[in-house]
Structure 1
Amino acid sequence: MATITSAGAGSGIDLESIISASVEAKRSQLQTPVTTKKTNTQINLSGLGKLKSAISSYVSTLKDMTKTGAFNKRTVEIKQDEDNPVYSVETKTGASNGQYDITVNQLAATSKFTGTFTSSTSALVTADATLSFGAGDKSFTVNVKAGDTLESIRKRINNNGDNFGVTANIINTASGEAKLVLDSGVTGAGNDMTITGTGELSSFSSNFTQTQTAQDASITVDGNTLTSDTNEFDDSIVGLSLTALRVSDTDPSDVTGATLKSNQLSITTDRTGIQDLVKGFINGYNTLVSTANGLGKRNSVVAGESQDDGGALAGDSVTRSIVNVMTGIVSSKSDQSSVYSYIFQLGIEMDKDGVLSLDEDKFNEALDNNFEQVVALFGGDDGVAGQLSSALEVYSRTGGLLAQRQDSLNSDLRELSFKQATITEQMTKYEANLRAQYGSLDSLLVQMSQSLSYLNLIANSTSSS
């Protein structure tokens, strides 16, 4: 008998369609629950990822607010020529509001020496020697080789790996002489440079004349003279870093020209900067609440039919828990301030939908009247920002609640992938069994058809005789 390559080929019945329909029905029966669960799991994973990211972003904002000095934002105003400033100022942690009359009396200076030589290209030494330079507590030594010229010595000084800042330059004069100009690079009174030599260079320093003495910078602040061995005055006024840029202008009211004019420095609270900090708190809060509510939104039902318009975490209690935690903290009484018990006393408002906003005028009034108390209410680990940060990190941190949920869902996906592979194997076996069964049926129908044809042939023969 010829091999049947397609179910029903022998009998003429479309058994192939029956097999296909049976396989698809069975596949759907097994596959649909897996596909549905896999899709829902992936949607939940995506939703948790978005929620975790939103929390992490807000926690970062909150942690910035809890840092020491986060609210210590100050505005610096100096009455001086902006194109040719006398000094510059930066505020640091601990800066306070205030006004100061500041005069720059002199800038810090390095010591300078100039030596006169007959030539920059003629050999200065016929045997190896050394040159040593010192300034303050710094020093280094240069090895000079036989035949070295002034030019090569200059290079040895400038390129020495232990050089603490000495620079050497050569000026070739019209008279043919060469002048070696040395700058110590070290400022501050008492830090004049020393030059000593060995061998033929033992009298090297005698060729030099000191043209500038190392000196401190000097400023006067409200009548008090302050000095620094550099032009930096760091915390001479607590919380401020002042850099002297040039000597102050002569006071025009002094006809002798002996008096220098002061330039007034004003340090005030940077209300705009602090407002921006609090606005960041509010915007981050509103964004996270909106994200959580959107992800947890349930599907709406119209005429008994779900509209599938819910969030990725529709009905998940975690979104409501996060919103409740946040609302609870910002609405709770705080004992961090002796003046304010609630952030709503500072001009922060919450509408019926839980959205925060800021009354800037009321907030500025609080800053002007009780700056430190505003900071106490918000800042630090125990302030509102710190409490929110700690509470939300329970959800977003590595190994936190959301991470645990994600791990569980990823485990579910691995199991579903295994079930998918099992279904594929089951369907292969199922189809093979169907083909075997329908193949047998097809063969039986062929045999029956052949038998019927034979019987009809006999019957017809008998009738004819």
Structure 2
Amino acid sequence: MATISSPGIGSGLDVSSIVSQLVALEKAPLAPLQTQASSLKTKLSLYGTIKSQVSALGDAAAKLAGTSGWNTASATSSNSAAISVKASAGATPTTLSMQVQQLARSQTTTSTSVATDATIGSGTLSIQLGQWSGSSFAAGSADAVDITVADTDTLTDIAAKINNAGAGVNATVLKDANGERLLLNAKDTGLANGFRITASDDDGNDADASGLSRLAFDGSGTTGTIQTQSAQNALATINGASIETASNQLSDTVPGLTLQLSQVTTSPVSINVVIDNDTIRSNVQAFVTAYNALNTTLANATKYDEATQTAGTLQGDSTAVGLQNALRSMMRSYTDGGSYTRLADIGISLQTGGTMTLDSTKFDKALTSNFDGLKNLFTVNSGSTTSDGFGRKIKTFAQGLLDSEGTLTNRSDALQKAITRNSDEQTKVTDRATRAEARFLAQYNAMDAAVAKFNGLSSFVSQQITLWNKSS
């Protein structure tokens, strides 16, 4: 008898539908697992947002936790075209009177003209940095740099070799109606950064104005290269005290200030350094803003909306609720800061719902009338995290939450593990349903084949009985 190839043909039953329904029963546990997986992933994503906002709050607190966040200063110059000034953290509020008698400059030289693209001669140029005193030269500590010149090299080739040698000078080729000249200038300004160029000329004469020696400068005036500008230091006075520097930029003369000298002055220039209140105010506002962002996220995630009867994603989540309560409690806590002990003392208050507001009038009064007390409220180190300054305690609290064993890290890790377990359970259900489907099909196909066989036998018997009756 032929094998049944389509389920149900032999028996007349809808085997495919029956097996499909049985498999659906096997897969029934998938629906709650998928719902659970979606919830876990949403929670994990939300905890990612919370961790990011805790990190932002910690960074904002860190700016206020140390003295550097309060030592911001701004500086102005009464003549910025002559002397510009920039203040960095740690600059002391002060007023300086400054004059510039001389600007620092670098040594420059120029050679005599040669025909455009002409060769110069072969040999070696030796460039030595140091200091000139009249026609006398004192070599500096750096070794001389040798430049090998071929007899096919033009001024352009020689300039490129000098620039690539790192000899402390820059080379440029100047072209005009008379031909080409080699211009050299020291990379750095100042007396100690002058340079001397000696030639070892293959024509046998190292000190004449022909061959390679025409590019030499040794102060003798016998070669073809002359000095067009001598090196010199900057000379200035600050509050009447004379200073001398190799650079026109003074970065360590006055702690915390960078002074750029651009012009010789004819009258005193006033440099004023004050505490940068705008930056401090901005840092405190950033702290308030970072806290409010985190508070809003936690409030929305843990609330229950009576109107819509909808629970927040983390409603009832002990970690989120605990964090929310701990933050609000911390913002209401005290410090051993001295004249100010609470955030409310300087105009930062908690509103209904946990949001913080900054009263600019009250804060500015504290900033201008009691700066040290304001700073201590955030920076004081009492020896106890509960009474430390708010910058220090919030910074420490945020770090603890985000550490490898911190509360938020552990909660995120737990959610990730739960998602992995859920995925494994879904795989098990799917595999079990696949095996069941194969088993059901095999069973129903076997039944189908048996019914088909019995139906065939019944038909045969009926035919024989009919034949017997005709014979009778």
TM-score by length of 2: 0.77
1:151 aligns with 2:168: no
Give the 5 Å matches for 1:124-163.
128-136=123-131, 137=140, 138-143=142-147, 145=149, 147=151, 151=155, 155=159, 158-163=162-167
Seen in structure 2, the aligned counterparts of structure 1 residues 348 and 146 have a Cα distance that, compared at 3 Å, is: closer
Name the residue aligned to 1:217: 234
Name the residue aligned to 2:332: 331
1:99 aligns with 2:105: no
Seen in structure 2, the aligned counterparts of structure 1 residues 78 and 412 have a Cα distance that, compared at 3 Å, is: same
**How far apart are 1:333 and its partner, in Å?**
1.5
Name the residue aligned to 1:313: 314
1:200 aligns with 2:205: yes
Q: How many residues align?
A: 437
- Any idea what SS the aligned residue of 2:128 has? strand
**How far apart are 1:276 and its partner, in Å?**
1.2
- Report the Cα distance in structure 2 between the residues aligned to 1:404 and 1:398, rounded to whole angstroms: 8
> Does structure 2 conserve the Cα–Cα contact (< 8 Å) formed by 1:139 and 1:164?
no
> What amino acid sits opposite 1:128 in the alignment?
G
Name the residue aligned to 1:50: 49
Name the residue aligned to 1:164: 168
What are the superposed Cα offsets for residues 357-403 of structure 1, whole Å, 9 maximum, x if unpaired?
Answer: 11112111211122233233224885322321221222234453333
> What amino acid sits opposite 1:376 in the alignment?
N
- Report the Cα distance in structure 2 between the residues aligned to 1:93 and 1:112, rounded to whole angstroms: 38
From 260, 263, 268, the equivalent of 1:262 is 268
Name the residue aligned to 1:283: 289
Seen in structure 2, the aligned counterparts of structure 1 residues 107 and 20 have a Cα distance that, compared at 3 Å, is: same
- Any idea what SS the aligned residue of 1:69 has? helix
Name the residue aligned to 2:189: 187
1:392 aligns with 2:392: no
> Does structure 1 conserve the Cα–Cα contact (< 8 Å) formed by 2:127 and 2:167?
no
Give the 5 Å matches for 1:210-249.
210-248=227-265
Name the residue aligned to 2:415: 409
Percent same amino acid at aligned positions? 26
Unaligned runs of 5+ in 2: 132-139, 209-215, 382-387
> Does structure 1 conserve the Cα–Cα contact (< 8 Å) formed by 2:61 and 2:390?
no
Name the residue aligned to 1:36: 35
Give the 5 Å matches for 1:305-384.
307=309, 309-335=310-336, 337-379=337-379, 383-384=389-390
- Report the Cα distance in structure 1 between the residues aligned to 2:71 and 2:165, rounded to whole angstroms: 42
> Does structure 2 conserve the Cα–Cα contact (< 8 Å) formed by 1:188 and 1:217?
yes
What are the superposed Cα offsets for residues 94-121 of structure 1, whole Å, 9 maximum, x if unpaired?
Answer: 1122222222221112234456578788
Unaligned runs of 5+ in 1: 249-259
- Report the Cα distance in structure 1 between the residues aligned to 2:117 and 2:227, rounded to whole angstroms: 24
What are the superposed Cα offsets for residues 58-106 of structure 1, whole Å, 9 maximum, x if unpaired?
Answer: 33333344466223332332223x6xx1111111221122222222221
- Report the Cα distance in structure 1 between the residues aligned to 2:198 and 2:279, rounded to whole angstroms: 56
Seen in structure 2, the aligned counterparts of structure 1 residues 301 and 11 have a Cα distance that, compared at 3 Å, is: farther
**How far apart are 1:348 and its partner, in Å?**
1.1
Q: Which moved further from structure 2: 42-51 or 11-20?
A: 11-20
Name the residue aligned to 1:420: 426
**How far apart are 1:4 and its partner, in Å?**
5.1
From 297, 310, 315, the equivalent of 2:303 is 297
**How far apart are 1:234 and its partner, in Å?**
1.9
TM-score by length of 1: 0.78
- Report the Cα distance in structure 2 between the residues aligned to 1:153 and 1:53, rounded to whole angstroms: 57
Name the residue aligned to 1:252: none
- Any idea what SS the aligned residue of 1:134 has? strand
**How far apart are 1:130 and its partner, in Å?**
4.2
Seen in structure 2, the aligned counterparts of structure 1 residues 282 and 134 have a Cα distance that, compared at 3 Å, is: same
> What amino acid sits opposite 1:39 in the alignment?
S
> Does structure 1 conserve the Cα–Cα contact (< 8 Å) formed by 2:155 and 2:182?
no
> Does structure 2 conserve the Cα–Cα contact (< 8 Å) formed by 1:48 and 1:313?
no
> What amino acid sits opposite 1:42 in the alignment?
K
**How far apart are 1:211 and its partner, in Å?**
4.6
Superposition RMSD in Å? 4.1
> What amino acid sits opposite 2:315 in the alignment?
A
- Report the Cα distance in structure 2 between the residues aligned to 1:433 and 1:14, rounded to whole angstroms: 16
Give the 5 Å matches for 1:5-16.
9-10=9-10, 12=12
Q: Which moved further from structure 2: 339-348 or 391-400?
A: 391-400
- Report the Cα distance in structure 1 between the residues aligned to 2:184 and 2:153, rounded to whole angstroms: 16
> Does structure 1 conserve the Cα–Cα contact (< 8 Å) formed by 2:98 and 2:236?
yes
Seen in structure 2, the aligned counterparts of structure 1 residues 233 and 448 have a Cα distance that, compared at 3 Å, is: closer
